[in-house]
């Protein structure tokens, strides 16, 4: 057990960032890349990096720029009280111990997701703090850094590939996904699969409907569909104007592939219902990039579990025998981990540099105030 005294406010004169190893299966991204770590080190930061066999960047890439390497999960016992514990996805499961540090990560607990209260109680018990990456917003309310574009890009790729798998008549269930070394490899693979599938589909391309098409995520989905060779007229782009009347929307089930890219921040009528999918439809794959699976306001209430990279899809029960599958992987950008990490870390860098004057940074002050607000809700 550590013997130092924990405090709730890390040092701001020379911030210490502790990049933890991700424990979520198949998570290969990093919140800080070796390139951004070097810039932060040059700016006076101290950075400790936990070793990781999963991370797309080799440990030695961090060591080469000057980051000391430590063992996986050593932040629990060895990280100084004033260190910021930096990561991306959830903390290790099956652990209810108090959390003492200030953590910067996607906590997935500020929108009453499953387990939100329990996680906040752990921070309450340890006098720790969450500075949630999802809620780092600039003065205009726009997120300073997000994986949205790459999430949509990867989501469209998976949706198209599942459709191809269905059309090629394979008796096998759609198999595990593995990360691609770069965007070009993913596009090349999809083009080849698409050419084989449309040859078995009367040479007809699928219709891809993107919900939230004007946002970062939706833009990524549309861009991938284009790069894969889907004709522009087959990319159905919906956003606020098309949905302002409120769902459900029968148009969704007339597309072959539905990619949901919205950012859900309030209760809205469902986009689709069991009645719609039980009726006549072309829809055979939903890629729910937004992944509000456990959110009580989930607008796609036809499935209840998150899927994973080793089991990417789950069948949807329907009285219509035409197949319908859902992909609901909540870390799709790790399909292209290096490019996703580079893009995110580059966008996050100015905000990380502002940790030197955290108390004067509107972004960080706003994040801490939101944490305090959610903590009070968890105590109620």
**Per the annotation, does 243 bind a ligand?**
yes
Q: DSSP letters along 108-164, please?
A: --TT--TTHHHHHHHHHHHT-EEEEGGG-B-TTS-BSS-SHHHHHHHHHHHHHHHHH
Half-sphere exposure of 174 (CA within 13 A, CB side): 28
59 annotated ligand-binding residue: no
161 is in an annotated binding site: no
Q: Are 174 and 197 in contact (CB under 8 A)?
A: no
Is 194 flagged in the annotation as binding? no
- Contact assessment for residue 146 and residue 140, using Cβ atoms and an 8 Å cutoff: no
- Report the chain's C-alpha Rg in angstroms: 22
Beta bridge partners of 130: 103
Tokens 């390497």 found at: 69
What is the side-by-side strand order in the sheet with 129-132? 69-70, 46-50, 16-19, 83-86, 102-105, 129-132
Give the active site residue among 108, 165, 167, 374: 108
Cross-strand partners of 86: 19, 104
Per the annotation, the verdict on 191 as an active-site residue is: no
22-129-371 Cα angle (round to 5): 110
Three-state SS annotation for 357-371: HHHHCHHHHHHHHHH
CA distances from 246 to 249, 269, 296 (A): 8, 6, 17
For residue 331, say whether it is annotated as part of any ligand binding site: yes
Catalytic residue among 38, 89, 167, 374: 89
Q: Is 324 annotated as a binding residue?
A: no
Does the annotation place 180 within a ligand binding site? no
Residue whose structure tokens are 């700016």: 43
SS3 344: helix
Q: Are strands 257-260 and 285-288 parallel, antiparallel or unpaired?
A: parallel
234: left (phi over 0), alpha (psi -120 to 50) or beta: alpha
155 is in an annotated binding site: no
Q: Are 21 and 73 in contact (CB under 8 A)?
A: yes
Residue 134 near residue 113 (C-beta atoms within 8 A): no
216 among the known binding-site residues?
yes
To the question of whether residue 239 is assigned a binding role by annotation, the answer is yes
118 Rama sector, left if φ>0, alpha if ψ -120 to 50, beta otherwise? alpha
Selection from 309, 331, 326 nearest residue 178 by Cα: 309
* 289 is an annotated ligand-binding site residue: yes
346 is catalytic: no
Catalytic residue numbers? 89, 108
Residues within the annotated binding site for NAD(+)?
142, 215-216, 239, 243, 263, 289, 329-332
């Amino acid at each position: 057990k550590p013997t130092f005294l924990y405090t709730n406010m890390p040092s701001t004169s020379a911030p210490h960032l502790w990049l933890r190893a991700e424990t979520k299966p198949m998570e290969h991204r990093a919140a800080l890349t070796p390139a951004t770590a070097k810039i932060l080190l040059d700016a006076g930061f101290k950075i400790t990096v936990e070793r990781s066999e999963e991370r797309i960047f080799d440990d030695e890439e961090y060591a080469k720029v000057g980051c000391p390497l430590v063992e996986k999960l050593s932040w629990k016992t060895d990280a100084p009280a004033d260190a910021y514990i930096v990561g991306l996805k959830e903390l290790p499961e099956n652990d209810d111990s108090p959390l003492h540090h200030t953590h910067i990560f996607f906590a997935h607990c500020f929108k009453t997701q499953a387990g939100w209260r329990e996680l906040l109680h752990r921070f309450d018990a340890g006098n720790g703090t969450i500075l949630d990456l999802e809620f780092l917003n600039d003065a205009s309310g726009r997120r300073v850094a997000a994986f949205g574009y790459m999430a949509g890009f990867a989501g469209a790729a998976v949706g198209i590939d599942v459709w191809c798998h269905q059309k090629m008549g394979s008796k096998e269930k759609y198999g595990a996904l593995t990360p691609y070394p770069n965007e070009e490899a993913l596009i090349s693979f999809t083009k080849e699969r698409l050419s084989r599938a449309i040859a078995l589909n009367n040479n007809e391309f699928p219709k891809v409907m993107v919900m939230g098409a004007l946002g970062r995520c939706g833009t990524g989905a549309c861009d991938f569909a284009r790069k894969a060779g889907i004709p522009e007229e087959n990319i159905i782009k919906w956003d606020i104007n098309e949905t302002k009347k409120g769902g459900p929307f029968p148009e969704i089930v007339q597309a072959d592939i539905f990619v949901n890219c919205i950012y859900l921040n309030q209760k809205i009528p469902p986009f689709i219902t069991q009645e719609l999918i039980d009726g006549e439809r072309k829809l055979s794959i939903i890629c729910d990039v937004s992944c509000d699976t456990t959110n009580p306001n989930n607008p796609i209430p036809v499935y209840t579990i998150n899927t994973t990279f080793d089991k990417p899809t789950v069948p949807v029960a329907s009285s219509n025998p035409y197949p319908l599958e859902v992909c609901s992987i909540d870390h799709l950008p790790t399909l292209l981990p290096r490019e996703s990490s580079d893009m995110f870390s580059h966008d996050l860098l100015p905000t990380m540099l502002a940790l030197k004057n955290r108390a004067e940074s509107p972004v960080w002050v706003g994040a801490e105030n939101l944490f305090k607000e959610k903590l009070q809700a968890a105590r109620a």
